[in-house]
Structures are given as C-alpha cells and as structure tokens.
C-alpha cells in the first residue's frame, strides 16, 4: 500500500515535471520563431515502478502562438559610458557626414521612424540636419529626398542611413558639437535605439575617405577591387596616411595598386611587390605604399601632400582565398592627417577607423550588402 502511494506520488510528480518541461521548451522555441507561428510541444518519459514494470507516460500537447516582438539595433556602437558612438572632425561652417546601419532584430517585419536632432549640453548647434537612405551602401544618399521612415524590413534585415549636418560659424577649434539619431519601431513606439554622433572642431585639414568594393559579392578565388576615395574638404594642404588592414581571407595582388590624384593630373601604377614609391610630375607629390613586414596583407599609403579641396583615389586588387568559409568579409581603413596644422601627420591615436566595407561570399545565405566607408581624420 505504501509502495503504491509512493508510485502514485512519483507518477504525479513526473507528470508535473513533464508539463513544466514542455512549457519551458515552448517558450524557448517561441523566442526564435517568427511572429504568428504556432508551436506544439509534447514530452514523454519512461520509468520502472515498484513492481518492476516499465511504465511510459506522455504529457499533454502544449500549443503556443508566437507573439510579435519588436527590436532594433542602430549602429555603430561606441564604447559606452557617455562616449560618442562616432566622432568626426570639421572646421567652422563645414558639413559632416555620419553613416549608420539599422538592423531589425524583431521577429516580424517592421519599419522604423528616423529622427536626428541636436544634443543638449554641447558647445553649439548644428544647422540643416538631414537624414538620407543609403540602401545600396555606396556611401552616398540614394536620392535628395530626406528619409523619415525606413521601408518594411524583414527580421534580420539591415538598412543603410546617412546623416548630414552643417557646423555653425559660432564654434571655435577644440569645441565639440553633438547630435543624436534615433530609430523607433512603427509597430511599438516604446522600442527604439539611438546613436550619439560628435564633431570635433578643428583649424587644420579635414580628410574624408570613402571605402568600397567594386562588387558586393564574390566566390572563393575571385578577385575584387578595393577603392579608397579621399577628399580634402578644406583649403589647407596636408600629408595623409591611409592604412588598410585586410581580412585574413584576402590576399593583396602584387602590382595592382593604382593611384589617381587630380592635383597631380596623372595615374601612377605601383608595381613593386613589397613596397613602392612613385613621384608625380606635378609639384613633386609622392605616394609611398608599403606592406607590413609580418602581415603582408596590411598595406599603408603615405601621401606627401593632399592639396586643399582636392580629390584622389587609391585602388588595389584582392583575391578571396580559396579556403574562405565565412558568409561575409568585413574590411576597414584608418586615416590620419594633420588636423592641428603643425606640418606633421597626427599620431596613430588620432587615426579614425572607417565604417566597415562588406563583401558577401556566395553560398553563405546572408543578405548581400556593401557598406562603403566614410572616415574622417580628426
């Protein structure tokens, strides 16, 4: 009799445990399922009773309908602790550009309202703040129409956004001017994410660099061209250093480095396999390219002088290594110039990392995108 009571008690406890387990499994499954999906779960267990008989027990079926959950991420993310997510440099009356990437982290399609405004407590205010779409990730606005709301994005989809703003004339070198961009779900206005952008006011030169691949996807073994387009947005001449730290899955093609600079009026092909120097015939401007002695896929370009208000490009080819097994490759560049106008390139601590240029590898199953990079030396 006592054994039967114990068996009955054990059986009841096991049923309760199975029901709780099924509920937990349903919750876990719902967290990764799309909104509206019905999830059914059932558990079973086998035990030996007091008479030595094998007994099987099955729980009831628990069905759960996944509710819609909104979530958004607005990048890039800074270090936190009140530090800005992005920093740029600009002179008085200069116009600055910030690039962002928005990702729908919810479990259903959603669109997001985009607002950008001055932050309080800084040195001055911006003028003419405008947000644009950059859906094709070419580093430039898709059109002249301001963006107020993104199109519908499926879960996991991302979308490129550009913010442009003008610095007033009331600032002085050393001042900081902040603006905040906010993305808010149109399905749940309590869900949002924001980025703090900061402009450091300078008296020296301002170099803006846009980085891109010539195509947005590749197979292992393919060759792609990387282009760094740099522009001096002030009237101040400056030496410039551009560093491109290539992903380990890229191999630089020797002899493929090409330089075009409008103040020099010529193209220069750098043919050396390890290092090369080429001097143009206009003003003695030189470009020195060098490969890292340890990692030969890290390349540095030193330009002796980038004239005020001039534009140039450096391009080179890379091969996607045959053994590449990742979905996409991400690549950044660093730019440093003479922002304090002392005649020398600033220290590496003052280098600015570009946004990430993205190349998707075929077969990875990830949405193709190319995020052109804009970096501003500060």
Ordered DSSP codes for 244-271: EE--TTEEEPTT-EEEEETTTTEEEEE-
Extents of the domains making up the chain: 2-65, 69-201, 205-378
- Mark out the alpha helices in the chain (DSSP H runs): 2-31
- Give, for all 378 residues of the chain, the pLDDT tens digit: 544 545 555 555 555 554 555 455 544 454 456 766 767 676 677 767 677 778 777 767 776 777 889 999 998 888 888 789 988 888 877 888 898 999 999 999 999 999 999 887 777 788 899 999 988 777 779 999 999 999 999 999 989 999 999 988 888 888 889 999 999 999 999 999 999 999 988 888 888 888 889 998 999 999 999 999 888 888 888 899 998 888 888 888 877 888 877 644 444 444 433 344 444 444 566 777 776 655 556 788 888 888 888 888 888 899 998 888 888 887 888 888 888 778 888 887 777 777 778 888 986 443 333 334 344 444
On whether the 205-378 domain is CATH 2.60.40.740, my answer is yes
Ordered DSSP codes for 104-153: E-SSS-B-EEEEEEEPTTSS--EEEEEEEE-TT-SSS-SSSSPPSBPPPB
Half-sphere exposure of 4 (CA within 13 A, CB side): 1
Dihedral sign of CA atoms 267, 272, 275, 276 in order: negative
Q: What are the C-alpha distances in Å from 164 to residues 117, 121, 147, 377?
A: 11, 20, 12, 17
Q: How far apart are CA 150 and CA 160, in angstroms?
A: 10
Q: What is the DSSP letter of 8?
A: H
Residue 40, pLDDT score:
65
Residue 296, Cβ neighbours under 10 Å: how many? 14
Residue 163, pLDDT score:
95
Residue 372, pLDDT score:
42
- Examine domains 69-201 and 205-378 and report if their fold is the same: yes
Find out whether 278 and 286 touch, Cβ atoms under 8 Å: yes
On whether the 69-201 domain is CATH 3.30.565.10, my answer is no
Give every CB contact of residue 360 below 8 A, 6+ residues apart in sequence: 216, 217, 218, 327, 328, 366, 367, 368, 369
Give every CB contact of residue 248 below 8 A, 6+ residues apart in sequence: 297
Q: How far apart are CA 375 and CA 273, in angstroms?
A: 27
Residue 23, pLDDT score:
52
Residue 349, pLDDT score:
72
User: Which one, of 327, 266, 337, 267, lies nearest residue 304 by Cα?
Assistant: 337
Residue 272, pLDDT score:
37
Q: How far apart are CA 66 and CA 77, in angstroms?
A: 30
Cβ-in-10-Å burial (0-12, 13-18, 19+) of 122 comes to middle
Against a cut of 0.85, is the pTM above it?
no
Residue 85, pLDDT score:
92
Q: How far apart are CA 180 and CA 196, in angstroms?
A: 5
Beta-bridge mates of residue 114: 183
Q: How far apart are CA 174 and CA 294, in angstroms?
A: 38
User: Which one, of 107, 34, 42, 47, lies nearest residue 72 by Cα?
Assistant: 107
């Amino acid at each position: 009799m006592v054994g039967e009571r114990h068996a009955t008690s054990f059986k009841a406890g096991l049923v309760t445990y199975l029901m709780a387990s099924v509920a937990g499994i349903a919750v876990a499954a719902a967290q990764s399922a799309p909104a509206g999906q019905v999830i059914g779960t059932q558990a079973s267990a086998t035990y030996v009773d007091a008479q030595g008989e094998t007994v099987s027990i099955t729980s009831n079926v628990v069905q759960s309908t996944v509710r819609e959950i909104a979530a958004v991420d607005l990048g890039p993310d800074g270090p936190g602790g009140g530090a800005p997510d992005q920093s740029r440099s600009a002179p008085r009356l200069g116009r600055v550009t910030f690039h962002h990437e928005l990702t729908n982290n919810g479990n259903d399609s959603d669109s997001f309202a985009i607002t950008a405004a001055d932050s309080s407590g800084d040195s001055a205010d911006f003028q003419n703040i405008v947000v644009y779409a950059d859906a094709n990730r070419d580093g430039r606005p898709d059109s002249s129409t301001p963006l107020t709301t993104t199109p519908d994005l499926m879960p996991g989809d991302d979308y490129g956004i550009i913010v442009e703003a003008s610095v007033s004339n009331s600032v002085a070198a050393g001042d900081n001017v902040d603006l905040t961009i906010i993305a808010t779900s149109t399905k749940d206005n309590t869900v949002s994410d924001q980025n703090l952008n900061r402009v450091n006011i300078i008296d020296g030169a301002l170099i803006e660099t846009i980085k891109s691949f010539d195509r947005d996807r590749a197979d292992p073994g393919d060759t792609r061209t990387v282009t760094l387009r740099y522009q001096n947005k002030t009237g101040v001449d400056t030496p410039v250093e551009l560093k491109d730290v290539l992903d380990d899955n890229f191999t630089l093609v020797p002899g493929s480095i090409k330089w075009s600079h409008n103040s020099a009026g010529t193209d220069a092909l750098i043919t050396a396999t390890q290092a090369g120097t080429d001097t143009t015939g206009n003003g003695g401007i030189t470009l020195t390219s060098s490969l890292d002695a340890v990692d030969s896929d890290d390349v540095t370009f030193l330009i002796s002088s980038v004239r005020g208000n001039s534009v140039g490009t450096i391009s080179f080819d890379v091969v996607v290594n045959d053994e590449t097994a990742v979905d996409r490759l991400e690549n950044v560049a660093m730019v440093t110039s003479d922002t304090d106008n002392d005649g020398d390139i600033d220290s590496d601590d003052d280098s600015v990392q570009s946004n990430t240029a993205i190349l998707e590898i075929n077969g990875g199953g990830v949405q193709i995108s190319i995020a052109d990079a804009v970096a501003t030396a500060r």
